[in-house]
Amino acid sequence: MNAPHNPLSSLSPVDTFCFDNRYARLSPAFYRKLAPTPLPHPYRVSISHKAAALIGLDATQAEHPDVIEMIAGNRLPLGADPLAMNYAGHQFGTLVPQLGDGRALLLGEILNPQQQRWTLQLKGAGPTPFSRHADGRAVLRSSIREYLASEAMHALGIATTRAVGIVGSDQVVYRETAETAAVLLRIAPSHVRFGSFEVFYYRNQTPYLKELVDEVIETHFHHLQPETDGYEQFLIEVIERTARLMAQWQAVGFCHGVMNTDNMSILGLTLDYGPFGFMEAFNPQHICNHSDEGGRYSYENQPAIGLWNCSRLAQALTPLIDAQKCNDALALYANLYREKYYALMRAKLGLGISQEGDETLIDSLLDQMGTHGVDFTHWFRALCGFSSTSLRLNQSALSYLSTPLPSALTQWLEQYTQRLATEPQPEAERQAHMRQVNPKYVLRNHLAQVAIDKATTTNDFSEVDHLLKILEHPFDEQPDEEAYAASAPDWAKNLSVSCSS
Ligand code: AMP
Ligand code: MG
């Protein structure tokens, strides 16, 4: 008997999305509608099958040539309604009343088979009315960095936009030098930023401000009832999500680099990866962005900047929320952050129950790590193998650390041993839990650089795929990939990353 005919089976995978473009139905002040600029002769750089599955594409569909054409901006999927989003932002502390997507286009919003909403955005899709004098493109180098970092952060359990894939082209774009263009397809439940609210506040357009708050609540905070909770509860939840995100960044040693309010997601996602970095030799004052001369966005400043950014959002919402209530909401941040941060750090140390003195124990560890420039990831991974009976650290992880261990850290291990003695959990169980929260593999700059060099010099993208596979399982030992857990080689010790992308 013939199988029943499926009318969708002959359709291209890019024409099977179920679009529900809510953002495109908002007032025109929210966006400019336009199609992507086609990218000549696009080719596949890398596809994340895990991210593609979120938008309903299986591995075969994700690799379909039409998907490459779609990411390139050469083929619009059926039902898409592309637009550039309008927003403002505070950049390095200064208000820029008009920014907007200068090179990104929201293709549309789809509901996947599980009825989850994903908004599809092409980054590097050509100029828009918000481009000012820039070219609307993204370079392959920065697209690879964003792609790998997004997927790596997700695997680390940190809220982030996701990256479905990159296509490249030989089209030349100019940054400090000539580079080639690429487009990244990234997805998120929403790409709305703090700056999306600020743009209407600074124009005194309260009706639009209200329209956006109502839209975001209805779509992403459906448990809230503006009539009874007021908008205040919405602000509190955004503050809470931001505090949680900052705690997660700190606990994994992630530095964002450009925490402008236009790069702050209203959903508390890590958004807009530029000159980010994962901490190697621990230094609280570490600045990952070469262009951030004053260190506004240094590692240790991130939690405070998270609050500063929430204050800018709260200010933008003052036409809708009483100023005193905004202040009350902001006053919650410090404790929310503190609780989340220490909960994560206790878990990293395998401390199942909270005890007095834990915070001091954690703070003193980080002090010593900073003094001795200990590799952040290596140290915590080595600690996963720490035996409180033999007072020894995991030997393979330890081999990356400078030896002999500074005496201050040896002393700290003694205090830690005493603290562990009060834990009811058996040692093996504690170590197993610790290995679930202290990654072995993070996206060290030199790893990304090797993949980028191969890609840009020989069009060989295999290292991007390979790195993706490793970073999808950051907590697994992966014995064949040991080399990817090592410190930066000498040539990469002073790699600098700037805003240019
Ligand atoms: P970013 O530094 O990527 O967060 O971008 C800050 C602002 O500059 C946003 O409005 C971007 O859309 C815009 N922008 C960045 N690079 C480009 C580019 N190559 N072409 C057009 N606009 C850009
Ligand atoms: Mg941005």
Q: Residue 155: how many CB atoms within 10 A of its CB?
A: 19
What is the pLDDT, as a whole number, of residue 499? 80
Q: Which atom of ligand 1 is nearest to the CA of 135?
A: 20
Which residue is closest in CA terms to ligand 1's atom 3? Answer: 272
How buried is 405 (Cβ within 10 angstroms: 0-12 exposed, 13-18 middle, 19+ buried)?
middle
Q: Which atom of ligand 1 is nearest to the CA of 263?
A: 4
Give yes or no: residues 319 and 304 share one domain: yes
What is the pLDDT, as a whole number, of residue 500? 85
Distance 299 CA to ligand 2 centre (A): 19
The pair of three-digit structure tokens given for residue 186, joined into one six-digit string: 């990234």
- Give residues whose Cβ lies within 5 Å of ion ligand 2: 263, 272
Give yes or no: residues 18 and 163 share one domain: yes
- Residue 436 in any domain: the answer is no
Which residue is closest in CA terms to ligand 1's atom 15? Answer: 102
Q: Which atom of ligand 1 is nearest to the CA of 87?
A: 10
In 3D space, the residue among 302, 222, 313 whose CA is nearest the CA of residue 256 turns out to be: 302
What is the pLDDT, as a whole number, of residue 107? 98
What is the pLDDT, as a whole number, of residue 1? 44
**One-letter-per-residue 3-state SS of 74-119:** CCCCCCCCCEEECCCEEECCEEECCCCCCCEEEEEEEECCCCCEEE
Taking the C-alpha atoms of residue 105 and residue 124, their distance in angstroms, rounded to an integer, is: 8
Taking the C-alpha atoms of residue 109 and residue 30, their distance in angstroms, rounded to an integer, is: 15
- Residue 388 in any domain: the answer is no
- Residue 411 in any domain: the answer is no
The single-letter code of the amino acid at 127 is P
- The residue among 188, 211, 241 that closes a domain is 188
What is the pLDDT, as a whole number, of residue 221? 96
Give yes or no: residues 169 and 107 share one domain: yes
Q: Which atom of ligand 1 is nearest to the CA of 101?
A: 12
Distance 11 CA to ligand 2 centre (A): 35
Distance 262 CA to ligand 2 centre (A): 6
Q: How far is CA 321 from CA 136, 205, 226, 265, 328, in A?
A: 36, 15, 11, 20, 11
Q: Which ligand is nearest to the CA of 142?
A: 1
Give yes or no: residues 276 and 147 share one domain: no
Give yes or no: residues 227 and 323 share one domain: yes
What is the pLDDT, as a whole number, of residue 2? 52
Q: What is the dihedral of CA 255, 260, 265, 270, to 10 degrees?
A: -10
Q: Which atom of ligand 1 is nearest to the CA of 99?
A: 10
15, 58, 66, 262: the catalytic one is: 262
- Residue 407 in any domain: the answer is no
- Residue 72 in any domain: the answer is yes
Taking the C-alpha atoms of residue 65 and residue 277, their distance in angstroms, rounded to an integer, is: 33
Question: In 3-state terms, what secondary structure has residue 11?
Answer: coil
What is the pLDDT, as a whole number, of residue 365? 98
Which residue is closest in CA terms to ligand 1's atom 18? Answer: 136
What is the pLDDT, as a whole number, of residue 280? 95
pLDDT tens series, the chain, 501 aa? 455 566 556 899 999 999 999 999 999 999 999 999 999 999 999 999 999 999 999 999 999 999 999 999 999 999 999 999 999 999 999 999 999 999 999 999 999 999 999 999 999 999 999 999 999 999 999 999 999 999 999 999 999 999 999 999 999 999 999 999 999 999 999 999 999 999 999 999 999 999 999 999 999 999 998 778 789 999 999 999 999 999 999 999 999 999 999 999 999 999 999 999 999 999 999 999 999 999 999 999 999 999 999 999 999 999 999 999 999 999 999 999 999 999 999 999 999 999 999 999 999 999 999 999 999 999 999 999 998 877 677 766 667 676 688 899 999 999 999 999 999 999 999 999 999 999 999 999 999 999 999 999 999 999 999 999 999 999 999 999 999 999 999 999 878 887 889
Give yes or no: residues 176 and 198 share one domain: no
- The residue among 343, 374, 405 that closes a domain is 343
What is the pLDDT, as a whole number, of residue 388? 82
Give yes or no: residues 107 and 152 share one domain: yes
Q: Which ligand is nearest to the CA of 101?
A: 1
- Residue 384 in any domain: the answer is no
- The residue among 135, 159, 188 that closes a domain is 188
Distance 272 CA to ligand 2 centre (A): 5
What is the pLDDT, as a whole number, of residue 229? 76
Residues 82, 126 contacting (CB under 8 angstroms): no
Give yes or no: residues 164 and 18 share one domain: yes
Question: In 3-state terms, what secondary structure has residue 45?
Answer: strand
Give yes or no: residues 28 and 42 share one domain: yes
Range of the domain at 300: 194-343
Give yes or no: residues 158 and 296 share one domain: no
The pair of three-digit structure tokens given for residue 413, joined into one six-digit string: 């291990």
Which residue is closest in CA terms to ligand 1's atom 12? Answer: 102
Instruction: Give the total number of structural domains in the chain.
Output: 2
Q: Which atom of ligand 1 is nearest to the CA of 128?
A: 21
Distance 102 CA to ligand 1 centre (A): 5
Give yes or no: residues 139 and 276 share one domain: no
Give yes or no: residues 140 and 71 share one domain: yes
Distance 150 CA to ligand 2 centre (A): 14
**Residues within 6 Å of ligand 1 by CB:** 99-103, 130-131, 134-137, 258, 263, 272, 274, 499
Residues 184, 104 contacting (CB under 8 angstroms): no
Ligand 1 pocket test, candidate residues 83, 98, 103, most atoms within 8 A of CB:
103
The single-letter code of the amino acid at 93 is G
Q: Which ligand is nearest to the CA of 125?
A: 1
Taking the C-alpha atoms of residue 444 and residue 400, their distance in angstroms, rounded to an integer, is: 14
Ligand 1 pocket test, candidate residues 32, 98, 131, most atoms within 8 A of CB:
131
- Residue 131 in any domain: the answer is yes
Told to judge if 262 belongs to the known catalytic residues of this protein, a careful annotator would answer: yes
Distance 303 CA to ligand 1 centre (A): 24
Which residue is closest in CA terms to ligand 1's atom 7? Answer: 99
- Residue 121 in any domain: the answer is yes
